[in-house]
Structures are given as C-alpha cells and as structure tokens.
Chains A and B, each alone.
Chain A
C-alpha cells in the first residue's frame, strides 16, 4: 500500500519542481509508473479477508479493483487535459495537475479506509478538488450553477450521514469495518432507526446517483473539463456504490423492508434516464444520463443484498468506469475540434476522422453492454439477481437494456454517420495522444474479458 501511496504523494514535488518544458511528460510518466505499480494489488496473496498493511488502511476484493481504477485514471486524465490546459500560464497548469493528483490521493485513501469515518472524510474531501476543477476550468457560464448543484446535492446527503455515523460510533464504540460486521441492530422497528437507516444511505444514493436525486450529475458532467468529467464518471460515482456496499453490513435486517422505494426508484430511473438520453441534443449530457442509467442498475443490484447482486454491481462499476470515461474523452476530441457539444453540429465525423470513428464504435459497443465485455457480465448478473428477487423486474431491466442499446446506437450514428456539416473549415487530424488515450481506456476493458476474476469481489 505504501509503495503506491508514497509515490502518489511524491507526485506533488514532481509537479511543482519539474521545469515547464517537461511538466506534462514527467507527470504522465510518473503517474503511469504509479498506475503500473498499483496493478500489483491484483495479486491476492492473503488468506484473510483483507490485505492489511496497517491498522487504518486495508484492501479487500471489493476495494482493490476500484482503487486500481482510481490509480489508472490519473495518467489518462493528464493525457486528456494536455491540449486544453496547455495555453495557460505554467503555475495554473501545475495547479490543475495538483488537483487531479490530490483527487487520486483522496480516492486511494477512501477505498482503502478501514474506519468508516475515515472513508467519510475522504468522501467529502474528494468534493473540493472536483468543485474547483468544475468551476474554474469549465467552459460555459453554467459551470457555476453546476458547481452549486454538485456541492449542495452531495452535502444534503452527507450531513445526515455524519450524524448517523456519529450515532453509530456512540452506540457501538467503534467504526472500524473489522468489528462492525458483528454488531446487531438494536431497535429495528422504531422510527428513529428507520431515519438512521435512510441517513446512512442517502449520501451514497445521491452520489451514485439514484434517479430522484440525480439532477446534479448532468450539470456537473457537462460543465466540467474533460479530466473532471472523466474522474466524475469513472470513480466518484463508484464511491457511492462502494459506500453503500460497506454500509449494508451494519444496516441489518431493516434493509429488507426499507429498500423497496429505493430499488423502485433505481429501476424506474433506468428507463426514465434512458428515454431522456434518446431526446438529448448535447453530447456530454447524453453520456451523463447514460451514466445515471447504468448506476441505477448498480444501485438496485446492491440494495437487494444478494452475492450475485454485489458481484454484478462491482463488475458493472469497474466496466462502466472505463467505458464512460472513454466516451467522455471521445466527446472531448470532438469538442476541441468543433467547439460545440450540440450533436447536430458534430455529425458525420467518420468521413473526416475515420480512426476516431473506430474508437467511437468500440466505446459505444462497450456502453451498450456487448458480450463478452465486462459491462455485459455485470448487467447480466444484476438483471438475473434482481429477477430472482422479483420476477416482474425483468420488464423494467429488459426494457432498460433495449433503451440502452437504442441510445448508444443513436449516439454512434449521429456523431459518426450521416451528412457532414458544411461549416467546418479547419479540423486537426486525430492526435496520437488521443489514440493512446482511447487505447489505454479500452485495452483494460478487453483484458478484463479474459480474466474477470480480478474484479469479481468475494464471490469467485
């Protein structure tokens, strides 16, 4: 663990002390080395449930795929932001990369936290760099309202969580995940306990996001610069799912009764947000709503508390992180050339940028859960486990799969096929950097097809 954390902390001196000419090369190389070192976490060499370097940080099969994803994403974010930040003064560039690296630090600490309060502090801490990235480096004036929505929606959920955690600490005497698995819930039928149950989960449901409280996500994703969108879609949403899976341990038998409204919101949200996707005119907004749709599936998989549900949730989280981040990078390549996110204005790009069309095709296939990609593995496991929970849900999840396929196809056909607009005068060819970025997103996804045991969680 320390062999990843200390080099990550050392990224800060790298960023600030490297001469300006070598800034991007050095930070990309350093973060790639850290990401490759984090792959050592895949070797599960412990007989116990946790790989624990010390009392406060440990990894288990749930957290290390997400921690590896967090580490993997930072070099990708740095590669993706190179173009639009390159024209700014050097100090500002260093600040930008420092914000991205601080996100990585907070995320690794969050995923490996053994104490739920540590996890909570890191969960909140990730909000601040993201807010700064969105409001300072976004491109439109709407970024201010996007930042406001992002902060206040998440805080609305997480302040009750703090109260609930402090109550649990007072009641149990510890918040360490090692011991919390053995506690019993004391009064499952009182209103107070029910409110405590909601307070525990609300923050993570807002973060996932659940359908009813998802309004912050399209705004934040659209207004953020590409690195902000990538990290939001790939990892920060998964913090919500991870938090829910950890909290389920203490939430006891009450979940069987109280989870119904949230499962229903999640399932109905798949269909509603999928349908909204079909009507979107803004490219990034479409990808953002598709994130909500996939996360609705994850939320329903977690809330039914079965082994297959949890496994499907983890797989879908990791696979969706890579696929969604890839789509945001592609949207950014289009945006940097045409300076417009309107889909009608960025049509027919296959004629102009045919190699990028190949990446668009792959990323869209990943998004619509094509076999044998892990997106399908996750979706199938969740759909089957939710079907076991209640047979009627197959109508919702099946329709949701259909709608997912149709909006992914719509996205691909609108951006790539069709008539090319006449108003493009100068369009850069696809940079090698962009091809590298897409390759680094999709190759792990393809490799995970061959060995999905790496991210199956506890159930292999």
Chain B
C-alpha cells in the first residue's frame, strides 16, 4: 500500500504514512488498509446521495435510526441493577407512600380541627 493516494475527502491515516509504514507488522498494515477502504466507500456513498440533484428525501443515517429506536424502546435494553432499582424505588415507589402518609395525616388533622372548631362555636349558641 505504499502507493496509497490521498483524495480530497479521504485523508491518509497516520499508520499509512510512508515514514512509519515499515515499522508495522503485516497484519496491522492489512487491517488499517481494510478500514481505510471501508471508510472511503462509506464516504463515497454519502457523497453520491448528498450531491444527487434528483434526491428529495432525507439521507438515512443508520446510527440515528438505531438511536431513535433505542430511545423509543427502553424496556428492551433495561436490566434491573442496583442503581436502576434504587432510582425506581426512590422516585416511583417511595413518593407514593410518603405522599399517602403526608396527605392522610394532613386530612385527618384538618378534619379534626374543623370538627373541634364547630363544636367550640356551637357551645356559645
């Protein structure tokens, strides 16, 4: 791959720089070349779609599709760990009990106070 040519949108990866090229093992060289080829092909595909004058729709980004799918289906990727259980309990279960306790006590107290007030006032009639 010593005759790897740079293109406007395909820069030379560092490992294919001729100054460092001969320090690499054969396997590493081959893997870097393969990655550079794939990268160039993807770029070419994107550029073809981007500059197509007859295109009217969005260019589909598979990473975005996966991300949106993951955002809409959280349960598939959910695993009950210590942190998620703690968060779920703290924000989903505990407030219900705390609120029940607070509201019930407040209601019972205010109704007792109202009854006591009526009893007090009626004794002066």
Q: A and B: partners? A: yes
Q: Enumerate chain A interface residues (CB-CB to B < 8 A).
A: 142, 222, 260-261, 263-265, 267-268, 272, 281-282, 285, 338-340, 342, 345, 389-393, 396, 423, 425-426
Interface residue B100 (Cβ < 8 Å from any Cβ of A): yes
- 8 more A-B contacts (CB under 8 A) besides A268-B99, A272-B92, A285-B72? A142-B72, A260-B100, A260-B104, A267-B99, A282-B68, A339-B57, A390-B103, A390-B107
Residues of chain A with a CB closer than 8 A to B90's CB: none
Cα A263 to Cα B103 in complex, Å, equals: 10
Q: Which residue of B lies closest to A421 (CB)?
A: B58
B64 — which chain A residues lie within 8 A by C-beta?
Answer: 342, 345
CB<8 Å pairs between A and B, sample of 29: A142-B72, A260-B103, A260-B104, A261-B96, A261-B100, A263-B103, A264-B96, A264-B99, A264-B103, A265-B96, A268-B96, A281-B68, A282-B68, A282-B71, A282-B72, A285-B72, A342-B68, A345-B64, A389-B107, A390-B103, A390-B106, A390-B107, A390-B110, A392-B102, A392-B103, A392-B106, A396-B99, A423-B58, A425-B55
Cα-based distance from A272 to B64 in the complex (angstroms): 27
Residues of B within 8 A of A (CB): 55-59, 64, 68, 71-73, 91-92, 95-96, 99-100, 102-104, 106-107, 110
Question: Which B residues touch A389, using CB under 8 A?
Answer: 107
A264 B100 Cβ-Cβ under 8 A: yes
Nearest A residue to B59, CB-CB: A423
Q: How far is the CA of A345 from the CA of B68 in the complex (A)?
A: 11
* Cβ-closest chain B residue relative to A388: B110
For the complex, would chain B's binding face be called helix, strand, loop or mixed by DSSP majority?
Answer: helix
Report how far A261 CA is from B72 CA in the complex, Å: 29
C-alpha gap A423/B61 in the complex (Å): 12
* Nearest Cβ on chain A to B88's Cβ, whole angstroms: 11
How far does the alpha carbon of A70 sit from the alpha carbon of B47 in the complex, in Å?
A: 50
A222 and B107 within 8 A (CB): no
Give the interface SS of chain A, mostly helix, strand, loop or mixed: helix
Least Cβ distance of A391 to chain B in Å?
Answer: 6
Tell me the bound Cα distance from A105 to B103 in angstroms.
42
Q: Given the complex of chains A and B, what is the CA–CA distance between A281 and B68 in angstroms?
A: 8
Across the interface, which residues of B come within 8 angstroms of A393, CB to CB?
103
Residues on the A chain within 8 Å of B100, using CB:
260-261, 264
Q: Which residues of B contact A268 (CB under 8 A)?
A: 95-96, 99
Q: CA of A392 to CA of B103 in the docked complex: distance in angstroms?
A: 7
| A446 and B72 alpha carbons, distance in the complex (Å) | 35
* Cross-chain contact A338 with B58 (CB below 8 angstroms): yes
User: Which residues of A are found within 8 Å of B102, using beta-carbon distances?
Assistant: 392
Give me the 10 closest cross-chain CB pairs, A-B, nearest first. A264-B99, A390-B106, A390-B103, A281-B71, A392-B102, A268-B95, A390-B107, A426-B56, A392-B106, A264-B96
Q: Contacts A264-B96, A268-B96 known; A340 to B71 CB distance under 8 Å? A: no
CA distance A370 to B104 in the complex (A): 32
Given A272-B91, A281-B71, A340-B58, does the pair A391, B106 have CB atoms closer than 8 Å? yes
Q: Can you name the residue of chain A whose Cβ is closest to the Cβ of B95?
A: A268
Q: How far is the CA of A338 from the CA of B73 in the complex (A)?
A: 22
**Docked complex Cα distance between A9 and B48 (Å):** 54
Q: Smallest Cβ distance from B70 to chain A, in angstroms?
A: 10
Which A residue's beta carbon lies closest to that of B75? A215
Contacts of B95 in A (CB 8 A): 268
A342–B68 Cα distance when bound, in Å, is 8
- By beta carbon, the residue of chain B nearest A260 is B100
CB of A273, distance to nearest CB on chain B (Å): 12
- Cα–Cα, bound, A393→B58 (Å): 47
Residues of A within 8 A of B71 (CB): 281-282
Asked whether B72 lies within 8 Å of A222 as measured between CB atoms, the reply is: yes
Max chain B Cβ within 10 angstroms of own Cβ: one of A142, A222, A425: A425
Cα A186 to Cα B80 in complex, Å, equals: 45
**Chain B residues with CB below 8 A from A222, complex form:** 72
B114 nearest CB across to chain A (Å): 12
B68, chain A: closest CB distance, angstroms? 6
A340 to B68, CA, bound (A): 10
CB closest residue in chain A, given B91? A272
A433 to B68, CA, bound (A): 30
Give the CA-CA distance A260 to B103 in the complex, in Å.
8
With a cutoff of 8 Å between Cβ atoms, the chain A residues found around residue B92 in the complex are 272
Docked CA distance A392–B110 (Å): 12
Nearest-CB residue, chain A, relative to B106: A390
Max chain B CB contacts within 10 Å: which of A261, A263, A390?
A390
Residue of B nearest to A268 (CB): B95
Closest to A275 in B: B91
Give A423 to B71 CA distance when docked, in angstroms.
Answer: 22
- Which chain B residues lie closer than 8 Å to A267 at the CB level? 99
Assembled-state Cα–Cα distance A75/B20 (Å): 71
Chain A residue numbers with a CB within 8 Å of B59 are 423
Q: Which residues of the other chain, B, contact A264 by a CB distance below 8 angstroms? A: 96, 99-100, 103
